[in-house]
Structure 1
């Protein structure tokens, strides 16, 4: 009986998988958007949004809502998340490296720090199974390092961190959780 139930569940999952279009998406998005944070295994962050928090000196740090301020004014320029302000702020990977979990902070700045570069890809919404546009981490500046974007606890909130592909370091006091960044147009 259990084998039959497992087979039925496996078949249902395969039927539910959305069909990813075959076209390649541009790494420029000129229409304003926000980013929805997705990881259905973690309700504390799932379907919340990437918010910005003025951290001083012109930098905006990235937090999972409700921390910080909601923004739907993001654009993507050559794969880099950009706030089209004067001067523009761009997502970078270059702050507060933590050896315990081998992660580095992602934040927005006008400085020339190594940019967080993303590919625009199709994916499947984990709740509705609808096709959605997502950002997939590509490189840290000129290093085609790949890796993953995630969040971890910070002062009762969750901030955004990058980790290299294959990272096995783990800090049980501040567990890093991989997330999907889904584009939500304004």
Structure 2
């Protein structure tokens, strides 16, 4: 057990390292192209990598952690929905390959009207640099469910993106799902694609 003085010192160090979160509210529309950086320092194989797209046939773009797939910095946010502004546009949806064992569902991009992943841009602190960053917090699964989490899970040696409802306790030790933070990164700031 830590002594009170040790806890106080640890709290003071944590407080000095945290960034100052701006008080303004961010728009749920981002019209200039961006990339999405994936963060979770506890999983180095994906930490600071990027969300990449992979043509899966039929116009669908499946989402994988770089270096798998094709890099993109052309993503936009339209009414909270991650969008590839193609003709026709592809939107992030949560509707496919549901897995009972860990209670997760695939997130991918499509032109179809599947249930959309609706995000809310929020300020956060970069875990490595403490710089202020814009993160995409999952707000809802279309009109079907509020909240939940986006994470990654191994898939044939690469990592794909999966949704799980808030409070999910299901777990698959063979393909462990790990929650990640999705960060908006300007094309000029993208490194290591």
TM over 0.5: yes
Q: Does 1:78 align with 2:79?
A: yes
Is there any run of 5+ residues in structure 2 with no aligned partner, and where?
188-193
Calculate the aligned-residue CA RMSD, in Å: 1.0
Count of aligned residue pairs for this structure pair: 185
SS at match of 1:158: strand
Instruction: Write the distance in 1 (CA, Å) between the matches of 2:45 and 2:11.
Output: 27
Q: Which string of whole-angstrom CA distances, capped at 9 and with x for unpartnered residues, describes residues 117-160 of structure 1?
A: 00010001000011100100011111242100000000000000
Instruction: Write the distance in 1 (CA, Å) between the matches of 2:145 and 2:156.
Output: 31
**Aligned match of 1:57:** 58
Measured after TM superposition, the shift of residue 5 of structure 1 is 4.5
Counterparts in 2 of 1:25-36, with a 5 A limit?
A: 25-36=26-37
Measured after TM superposition, the shift of residue 114 of structure 1 is 0.4
* TM-score for the superposition, normalised by structure 2: 0.93
**Aligned match of 2:152:** 151
Measured after TM superposition, the shift of residue 9 of structure 1 is 2.8
**Aligned match of 1:137:** 138
SS at match of 2:23: coil
Q: Does 1:96 align with 2:136?
A: no
The more displaced of 96-105 and 143-152 is 143-152
Structure 1 segments, 4+ long, off by >4 Å, are none
Instruction: Write the distance in 1 (CA, Å) between the matches of 2:42 and 2:81.
Output: 27
Instruction: Write the distance in 2 (CA, Å) between the matches of 1:5 and 1:67.
Output: 43
Q: Which string of whole-angstrom CA distances, capped at 9 and with x for unpartnered residues, describes residues 19-77 of structure 1?
A: 11111100000010000000011100000000000101110000000000000000000
Measured after TM superposition, the shift of residue 185 of structure 1 is 1.2
The more displaced of 42-51 and 15-24 is 15-24
Counterparts in 2 of 1:108-147, with a 5 A limit?
A: 108-147=109-148
SS at match of 1:69: coil
* TM-score for the superposition, normalised by structure 1: 0.96
**Aligned match of 2:191:** none
Instruction: Write the distance in 2 (CA, Å) between the matches of 1:8 and 1:141.
Output: 43
Measured after TM superposition, the shift of residue 7 of structure 1 is 3.5
